[in-house]
Amino acid sequence: MAFLNFEGEYFLLKNKDGAYYSIYKLLKLMLMFSGFIFLFGGVWLTIGNLSSTVLQIIIILSLFLSISISVILFEKKSLVTVGIQFRIKDVLFLLLGVSLAVILILSIFLVVILIKQDDSSLSIINQLYTIKRLPLSYLMIPFIEEMIFRGYMLNNMFLTLNFKKRSIITSVLFMLPHLIIDGGNVSMMTLIFAMGIGTFLFGMFFNNVTHLSNSIWVSLGFHWIYNFLFSTFYLDSSNYYIGIVCTITFLLIGTLVTRKMLIKRGRY
């Protein structure tokens, strides 16, 4: 059976009230996640210091195990239902996501250069620092986020609701951790437009392309490359907001275009 059956028959809920059962599954997932955090964190503290890198690894591992156990043991399903599959067309979907992210980043740089009339405010940050963060921050974290929000939540929860409502719910859930985790380290403008509006639109756009392609690989490819390139090239404070405006504009247009495609196919 094909991955991601959005009509609901593939993801039958045990409870007739899908919303309540979905909340129950979410709470169970959070409980398992908390248990793994305490387990791995406690074990590591007995042998060494809990650095930020180690903590990130523990969080990623705990999330992956929690979802895998929930899907395989409790829901009796395959990890294919959360997007963990590798087909030839998934490679094309990945390349499509990468291409869209590259187009967006190049557009941002072009707008900055046109407005400033020079490229002196664009620079590449310490490449050694970027390379060190590559496996964890730019590969693993986006993978886990797409697995959770697009693979698991969008297509495995709140299935009594139509796609539009599920997309809004998962986009809000995708936005909240970014607001909480990064909110104390940024300005109010960045919090509202980048972590708030921008992240919500990322969620809506990613949900639409996942629904269109029946695959998480388009959004994953975009997520990987956007995070890496936007972090690799440094924009000063004034240009940073130009980048945010360009990103929000791109995501808004992308969301509207993919929404129109979904409506045309009767899937919105």
242: number of Cβ within 10 Å: 19
What pLDDT does 4 receive? 47
High-pLDDT (> 90) share of the chain, %: 31
Beta bridge partners of 233: 124
Contacts of 40 (CB under 8 A, 6+ apart): 58, 61, 62
Q: In b/e form, how buried is each residue of 84-106, taking b as 16+ CB within 10 angstroms?
A: beeeeebeebbebbbebbeebbe
* Chain segment 111-152, per-residue pLDDT in tens: 877 876 665 555 555 555 555 666 667 788 899 999 999 999
Q: How far apart are CA 113 and CA 103, in angstroms?
A: 15
Residue 87: in which H helix or E strand, if any? none
127: number of Cβ within 10 Å: 9
What pLDDT does 201 receive? 94
Residue 235 has pLDDT above 90, yes or no: no
Residue 63: in which H helix or E strand, if any? helix 52-69
> Considering the entire predicted model, what is its pTM?
0.84
What pLDDT does 22 receive? 78
Name which residue leads in pLDDT, 17 or 90.
90
Please classify residue 268 by burial: count the beta carbons closer than 10 Å to its beta carbon, then call 0-12 exposed, 13-18 middle and 19+ buried. middle
Categorize the per-residue pLDDT at 254 as very low, low, confident or very high, splitting at 50, 70 and 90. very high
Of the candidates 212, 220, 209, 204, the one whose C-alpha atom is nearest the C-alpha of residue 94 is 220
